[in-house]
């Protein structure tokens, strides 16, 4: 079936929710995490780790946990609605004060910078993508991963992550926000593994869960996976997720 895939393993991180047991408990009684988690990311050399902000450390920590062994050719998709927007905001504020733009800061602010830092640190030589598609960014990441699987990749690492946007962009905030990241290792459908599909929504699309209004959409997708959801819509109602036996 087009759009069907299995999740071989997963990892997630947010303030106060670190290990799998805590995430399973959270999925049964969800809440919006508060605070800014700063993972140790001890796996990454200190010189490279210093180049990352909090969001980058979050994203790379879950990626590392999902890929503990080196796999140079593993394709990757990094999906984030806003990326490291705080770094961009700091540069804009500096320009407004007449300060020169730092080439290093600029390079680290681009949407693929976090993925690039992971690629460099792990010696990755395979394909990697960084996507942003507004409220459907997670769905866009899955679509890209499915394309890589269809092209013959045995597995794809999908990393989704976001953080609250700066107060200067308050007018554009349209969902609950917190700092979070998760990673899935996607493989072709396999026995004994959680198997999902993503397809364009028909009419009518499944109704969103009551919890969906209180979480960022990316965390709602993870919650549905862990809680055993049967079918749920994307936030823009254009996509439908389904679980398969």
Residue-by-residue pLDDT tens, the chain, 245 positions? 457 999 999 999 999 998 999 999 999 999 999 998 889 999 999 999 999 999 999 999 999 999 999 899 999 999 999 999 888 888 888 889 999 988 888 888 898 999 999 999 999 999 999 999 999 999 999 999 999 999 999 999 999 999 999 999 889 999 999 999 999 999 999 999 999 999 998 767 788 888 889 999 999 999 999 999 999 999 988 999 999 97
Identify the three-state secondary structure at position 89: helix
Tell me the C-alpha distance between 45 and 50, whole Å: 9
> What per-residue confidence (pLDDT) applies to 102?
86
Q: CA of 62: how far to CAs of 1, 30, 111, in Å?
A: 29, 20, 18
Specify the DSSP class assigned to residue 172: G
Tell me the C-alpha distance between 117 and 78, whole Å: 12
Judge whether 58 and 180 are in contact, CB under 8 Å. Answer: yes
Q: Does domain 4-244 have CATH number 3.40.50.1220?
A: no
> What per-residue confidence (pLDDT) applies to 1?
42
Element of type H or E holding 156: strand 156-162
> What per-residue confidence (pLDDT) applies to 43?
95
Tell me the C-alpha distance between 220 and 229, whole Å: 10
Question: pTM here?
Answer: 0.95
> What per-residue confidence (pLDDT) applies to 224?
97
Element of type H or E holding 104: helix 103-109
Closest C-alpha among 205, 199, 224 to residue 139: 199
Task: Please report the sign of the dihedral spanned by the C-alpha atoms of residue 58, residue 60, residue 62, residue 65.
Answer: negative
Q: CA of 172: how far to CAs of 34, 65, 96, 135, 169, in Å?
A: 20, 33, 21, 12, 6
pLDDT 10s digits, 40-54: 999 999 999 999 999
Judge whether 55 and 88 are in contact, CB under 8 Å. Answer: no
Strand order of the sheet with strand 195-200?
128-131, 76-79, 156-162, 180-187, 4-14, 195-200, 239-244, 231-233
Task: Please report the sign of the dihedral spanned by the C-alpha atoms of residue 82, residue 85, residue 88, residue 92.
Answer: positive
pLDDT 10s digits, 131-152: 999 999 999 999 999 999 999 9
Tell me the C-alpha distance between 64 and 86, whole Å: 23
> What per-residue confidence (pLDDT) applies to 204?
73
pLDDT 10s digits, 167-191: 998 899 999 999 999 999 999 999 9
Does the bond joining 59 to the residue before it have cis omega, within 30 degrees of 0? no
Judge whether 187 and 155 are in contact, CB under 8 Å. Answer: yes
Closest C-alpha among 72, 102, 70 to residue 88: 102
Q: What residues does each domain of the chain span?
A: 4-244
Which residues fall within 8 angstroms of residue 187, CB to CB, at 6 or more apart? 5, 6, 7, 8, 149, 154, 155, 156, 193
> What per-residue confidence (pLDDT) applies to 2?
52
**What is the maximum span of the chain, computed from C-alpha positions, in angstroms?**
59
């Amino acid at each position: 079936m087009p759009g069907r895939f299995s999740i071989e393993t997963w990892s997630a991180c947010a303030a106060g929710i670190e290990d799998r047991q805590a995430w399973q408990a959270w999925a049964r009684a969800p809440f919006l995490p508060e605070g800014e988690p700063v993972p140790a990311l001890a796996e990454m050399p200190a010189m490279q780790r210093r180049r990352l902000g909090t969001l980058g450390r979050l994203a790379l920590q879950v990626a590392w946990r999902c890929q503990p062994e080196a796999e140079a050719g593993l394709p990757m998709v990094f999906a984030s609605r806003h990326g490291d927007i705080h770094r961009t905001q700091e540069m804009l504020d500096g320009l407004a004060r007449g300060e020169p733009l730092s080439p290093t800061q600029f390079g680290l602010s681009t949407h693929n910078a976090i993925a690039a830092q992971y690629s460099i640190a792990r010696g990755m030589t395979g394909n990697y993508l960084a996507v942003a598609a507004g409220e459907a960014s997670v769905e866009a990441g899955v679509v890209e991963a499915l394309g890589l699987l269809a092209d013959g990749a045995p597995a794809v690492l999908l990393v989704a992550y976001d953080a609250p946007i700066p107060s200067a962009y308050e007018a554009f905030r349209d969902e609950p926000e917190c700092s979070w990241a998760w990673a899935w290792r996607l493989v072709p459908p396999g026995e004994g593994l959680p198997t999902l599909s993503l397809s364009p929504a028909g009419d009518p699309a499944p109704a969103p869960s009551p919890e969906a209004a209180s979480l960022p959409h990316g965390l709602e997708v993870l919650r549905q996976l862990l809680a055993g959801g049967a079918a749920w819509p994307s936030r823009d109602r254009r996509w439908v997720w389904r679980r398969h036996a």
